[in-house]
Structure formats: structure tokens, C-alpha cells
Structure 1
Amino acid sequence: MTQLSSLTRYLLILIPAIASMYIESYSSNGMYVFLILIFIWIAELRRKIFSKSAWTLLLEIGFSGWMSYHYDGILFITFYSTLISYVTTVNSHIRYYIVSIHLILLNISLHNQSSSYYLIANLIFISLTLLLLQMLQTVQNKEEIELLYDRLRRQHYELDEARAQLMDYARKVENIAQTDERNRISRDIHDDLGHKLIRLKMMMEASLQILPTQHKKGVDMLMSVRDQLTESMELLRSTVRRLKPDEETLQTYSLERLIEGLTADNGISIEVEMQGMPYVLYPSLEFILYRNAQEAITNAIRHGSATQVLIQLTYEPKQITMCISNNGKRPNERSVNGLGMSGMEERSKLIGGQLTVSVEDRFTVTTVLPTFRQIESI
């Protein structure tokens, strides 16, 4: 019980006790004061020692009812002092039984009072009980919200950590793949081209030695070196060609190819504006931009009946921003938060990006992705 609650509780005992002495004429004021002190002692005993004891609570309720029954006045107000001490703390299984007993004793103690006293006392009792229960429910809801917030915050931290681990794992996989490819290429160059060049060097040295004495044989050896150099050059070209992906692979998730397909199939006008200096993106970033652009343009055609779409790409040192706006009709809130938008948002957040939607002038979907570039200091 808080300090304010304790103060209110004892004021609800002392004020009606003192006021009743002026309202009623008692045969022995000393005995009356003694009984009031006993009641305060029981209340203090409950507060400090027997706070969870139901029997001590019933003793206080019974003693309060006995005092109000014999001394009349406005001592029925002491019932409210006891009420505020247990409604929010007693076990919920017995709370309503005790409240019912409390209310019955309140009405019994008012046997000599007028009907207006009955009405006012019962209204105050019921109203105060409902108010205390509502306060208890509010406190419980607040605690549940705080627990839920803590749980969501922990999950958010775990998600951020998992995303960081996923990005680190992706970078490690990419580095391992690049290392394996470099090792394969170095072996090919060493085993094929390296051996050929060493043999050609030896043949050229031999031809230089025999050329003055055996001119024809020396020339034949030099011609053989020339032919083998041609083969080595072809081997080098084929190795370099294997390093470069084919155009079909490079264009799989290209925005240009997406625009060409949608323009041809739907007859829609799509414009692209670029700001900043373009640079090469990770394949995962290109995939997310491609899918988000595909979803945004498809939604603009399907739901907004758009005829014009503007794609704005902004290249910044540490992030890339893609804004897609259209001239179609603006969707309602339910459409904005649909399954397609949720997928776009999940893809963006997976690598630490974000997705925002604006419906002010034109319906605009903005994707912001970190590029994880290492900016070299000049």
C-alpha cells in the first residue's frame, strides 16, 4: 500500500469517528474513543503483519460493522477505509465473496438510519469498488504492456543480431566462393599456361643457340614457338571469358529488363531518373530492388490503373534509394498494408533497409538499402 493510500485509509477512520461524536450523544465518550483506537490498531496490525490474512480482514470488517451498528452517526464511512485496503490486493478467488460480506454488513449496520443513508452508502460502496477494480485492471494492463514491450525489444535485438550474423555469413560465403574461384583460375593458369610459357622459353633459348650454326632448324623452332604462343593466347582468352558471367546471367534481375517487359505487356509508360554516381551493387541488393520494383509497378497497374510510373534511383556513398511513384488512384489503408507490401518490407528489413509509403501527391513506394561499400579515403 502506498503512502497516499495509507493516509486516505486512516482519514476515512478518523474523520467519521470525530464527526460522529458531534452528531450523536454517546453515554461514554471514553469507551467510544477506546473502541476507535482498537479499530485503528486492527487496521495497523493488518497493514504491517497480517496483510495477506483473510481472517484478520474479516475481523476488521466485523468490528467496523459492530461499531457502526451500535454508535450510528456516519461511522459507516469506515467501511470504505477497509474496502480500499483489500480490493486491489486480496486474492481474486475470494475477493468477491469478501466484498459481498462487506456490503451485507454495511446494510445491517444502517438499521437505524434513513432510507437516503442506505441509498448513498450503497452507491458510494459500489462506485468505489468498481473504481478500485478498474484501477487494478489498468495497473495489470500496464504491466502486461511493459512485459510485451520488453519481449518485443528482446526479439528486436535478437532479430538485429540474427540479421547481422546473416549478413556476415553471406559476406563470408561470397569471400569463400571468390577464393575458391581464384584458386581454380590460378591452378588453370599455373598448370596449363605456366607450363606452356616455361617450355616456350626453353625452346627460344635453344633456337637462339643453334640459329648461327643450324639456321633452318633454328627458324623451324622459332615458328613452333610462334604457333604455341598463339595457342597460349587463346587459352588465356578462354580463361578470361570464364571469369565474366554471360549477359543472360547479368540481366536476370535487371531493372531495364523489368521495364522492357512491363512496358511491352501492359502498355504503360515507365521513366527512370538517376541521381549520384552509379556503382556496382551486390547481387542481393539488385534482387531486392528488382522484386520491390516489380511488386510496386504491378500493384500500380492492377489496383491503381496507372498509366505512368516514375522510378528514381539515388546513389549515395552508403545507401541506395529507389522511389517508385505512379499516377493511378490512391489505395486505401487496407490495401497499403497488404501482403505484397509486407513482402517488400520484409525483404528490405532483412538486410537493414526500410520501406516507406506516401500517398500525399502521388502514391509513392520508397526503398532504402545500405550498400555496405568500403569508401576509400583520398
Structure 2
Amino acid sequence: MRERGTPVEIWTMGIKAVLLSYVAIQSYESVDLISTWYMLSILIYLCLNISIHIVKKASSKSIVLLLAMLAIAVSSSYIHPLFMLLLPLNIYELFAIYLRKHGLIVLLMLAPLVLISQYAQSILVTYGLVALLSFLYNLLLHTYISRMTDLRADLENRHEHIQQLTKSLNENKEYIRQSDYTIKLEERNRLSQEIHDKIGHSMTGALIQMEASKRLFTSNPDKSAELLQNAIHISKDGIETIRLVLKNMKPPTEQLGINRMKLFIDEFSAKQTVRTSLTHEGNVDSMTPIQWKVIQENTQEALTNAMKYSNATVVSIHIQVLRTLIKVEVSDNGQGAQKVIKGLGIIGMEERAASVNGTIIVDGSRGFSVTTLIPHG
């Protein structure tokens, strides 16, 4: 029983202590004089049963248990029959090492009733009750420990799974951070190059014209005025270039948020025969660009899967922005699936949702639906 752990041993020793106390009290009342042999038998029982929980090898444990059973049999024969009540627990401990059939073990625990019926009928019923209660105690304890072991293993597996998800989430966050940083660097580089190539050249030309106009201001006023006018035209062109650059930096309205989603759905409907609808509720303008990116990519994947596998004629997309949650459901009226098998598409959607602390719910009971849930607010 070593593999069961220290708590089991403590409980077993406690039960033995209760039984020994009962035997000692009952036999003390019926013995006229407490002899040295009486005390010695109790001490021998204590020593042997403590040794059971000290030895590690099954063979050594079996020897100690056999000695304990022999000591109990001798004590019950020569000192007091009540010592037989200590026998059932030792019988269970011995045969539980080698046997797995509980029915056979309980029969072995009740076997001493044959001997008791011959010389100690007064404790016959008591022994049978103690044997059955001892068996039930060990059976319940065995079941409890097995469940605790299973729960502990399940908890460890869940903990390991959480660690893996946390690691994956951190990697996704780092990837998003690096991607965002790279995009910013690329945009800054493009903007710097465009300002240098267009605006810088224009401003340099205007400055040269104004310098020349300044030198000819007194000697040739007409030429100075012409050069100054050219500088004004060049400056106006430069200002218009700045305005166009700034305008191009800002994405058009149709490329942002819900408008971009509508454009995507319209393009999808134009290419496919399936009828597609988009509805939304709540403050969709409060959603961040990265949330829109995840939602659009998951919606695109869900629509692709619907076209490949569902044989649907209608697909609906519903975006709902709540106080603390964004819910996006893509559902169709196709054939569905009783058992959903996660392929690369669904796994990809789960990973994208996890990158923003979200999750995916897939249901194939009525048609097929993919729901993306993202924390919000």
C-alpha cells in the first residue's frame, strides 16, 4: 500500500488504534489480573503494525503481516479471544498486495469465523461485523484514493494545457507587437522617402528661385518678378503634394471597420451563388483594428468552409458588440455535422481568436455555425 501515500497509512493506523483500544478495554474488564504476557502481546501487535508501514518491499511487508497475524492468533488463543478482532485488517492488507478481486478478499477475511465458532462463539457476530466494516472501509478508501489520483492527473494535464495556451498566447502577442512595429517602420520609411522625393525637391527648387530673385531684385526687376512668381507656383505645388500625401496616409472610409466588412461581403456575394447577409448591433465603431482583422479573417475562413462542405444556400453573419464582449456568428442552413472534426481552418480561427484573448465555438447540430467571442471594453 506504499504507493497510496502517507494519508492512507495514517487513516489505517487510526482504525487499528480504535480497534486495539476497543479490544483492550473489553478484555481488561474480563481479565482478573493484567499479566506481563497481556501487555507484551499488545506491544508486539503495535510494533509489528508500525513496521508494516516502514518496510518498502512487498515481500518484507508480507512477512511482517504474517508475523502480526500469528501474534494475533496466539494472543487470542492464550490471552483473550477478543484479540481476534484485530485480524481482519491484517488479512486485507496481506492479500490486497497479491489479489485484485475484492470478493475473494472478503471471503478470506471471514474465513476465521470457522475457528471462532469452535472456541469463542461469544465474539462470532462481533468478528463478522468488524470484518465486514474493515472491508468496506478499505474498499471506500481505495475508491477515494483512485479518484483523487485521477483528479490529480487531470489537474496536472489541465495545468500543462494552460501553460501551453499561455505560451502560445504570449507568442501571438509578441508576433502582433513585432508585426505592428514592422508596419510602422515600413510606413515611416515610405513616408520619409516620399517627402524627400516630392516635397523636398519642390521646396529646394522654390528656394533656389527665390535666391535668384533676390539677387536680381535691383538690377533686373522684371526677371526677379518672374523668378519670384515661379517660386510661388513651385511652393503651391509643394503644398498640394503635402495635402495629397497626408490624404493618402489616411485609409478611405470604405476600408475601415464595418464598411470594410460590408465591402468584403458584397464582393463574396457577387462571386458566389449562396445568398449572404450581414447584420450588426451595438457600437461597432468602438472595435479596434486588430479586432476587425481577426473577425474578418475568421469570417472569410468560415465562408470558405461553408462553400466547400455545407451545401448551404444561405449564410448569415451577425456582429454583436456588448459591454464586455464582441460576438460574431457565421451560420448557414447547410447539412451540418454531428461530430465536428477540427481541421486546419478551425485551428487557424482558434489561434487568431486566442491572439486577442478570444475563443471559438463551433456547432454543427443545426446547419453549421462558427462563433467568435472576443473580450471588449
Matches within 5 A, 1:239-318: 243=249, 254=261, 256-258=263-265, 260-262=267-269, 264-278=271-285, 281-282=288-289, 284-297=290-303, 306-315=312-321
Of the candidates 34, 41, 44, which is equivalent to residue 43 of structure 2?
41
Task: Identify which of 195, 200, 204 aligns with 1:198.
Answer: 204
Structure 1 range deviating more: 206-215 or 56-65: 206-215
- Preserved contact between residue 255 and residue 290 of structure 1 (Cα < 8 Å): no
Show the 5 A alignment for 1:80-159: 80-83=88-91, 86=93, 96=99, 107=111, 110-111=114-115, 113=117, 128-129=134-135, 132=138, 135-136=141-142, 138-150=144-156, 152-153=158-159, 155-157=161-163, 159=165
Tell me how far apart the structure 2 counterparts of residues 200 and 178 of structure 1 sit (CA, whole Å).
Answer: 31
State the shift of 1:203 in Å. 1.5
- TM-score normalised by L of structure 2: 0.67
Once residues 316 and 104 of structure 1 are traced to their aligned partners in structure 2, the CA distance between those partners, rounded to angstroms, is 67
**CA distance in 2: counterparts of 1:277 and 1:102, whole angstroms:** 69
Verify the 8 A CA contact 1:272 1:313 in the aligned structure 2.
Answer: yes
Task: Provide the rounded CA distance (Å) in 2 between the counterparts of 1:34 and 1:263.
Answer: 103
Contact 2:75 2:81 in 1 (8 A): no
Deviations 1:208-241 (A, max 9, x none): 5535642443354346446655774686578558
Deviation at 1:156, TM superposition (A): 1.8
Instruction: Quote the residue 1:179 is aligned against.
Output: 185
TM-superposed CA distance for 1:178, in Å, is 1.0
**CA drift at 1:353:** 0.8
Q: What residue in structure 2 maps to residue 376 of structure 1?
A: none
Residues 49 and 65 of structure 2 are in contact (CA less than 8 Å); yes or no, is this contact kept in structure 1? Answer: no
CA-CA distance at 1:289 after TM superposition: 1.5
Q: What is the alpha-carbon distance in structure 1 between the residues aligned to residue 287 and residue 22 of structure 2?
A: 81
Aligned pair in 2 of structure 1 residues 221, 34: CA closer, same or farther (>3 Å)? same
Q: 1:66 maps to what in 2?
A: 74
Query: TM-score of the superposition, structure 1-length normalised?
Result: 0.66
Residue 77 of structure 1: aligned partner:
85
In 2, distance between residues paired with 1:174 and 1:146?
41
Q: After superposition, what is the alpha-carbon deviation per residue over 1:10-66, rounded to whole angstroms, capped at 9, x for unaligned?
A: 4434656777899xxx9x9658x7555333212322455663243443321111133
Aligned to 2:373: 368
Q: What amino acid is the match of 2:358?
A: G
Task: Give structure 1 stretches of 5+ with no counterpart.
Answer: 373-378
Which consecutive unaligned segments of at least 5 residues does structure 2 have?
1-7, 56-60
Give me the identity figure in percent. Answer: 20
Aligned to 1:355: 360
What SS does structure 2 have at the residue aligned with 1:366? strand
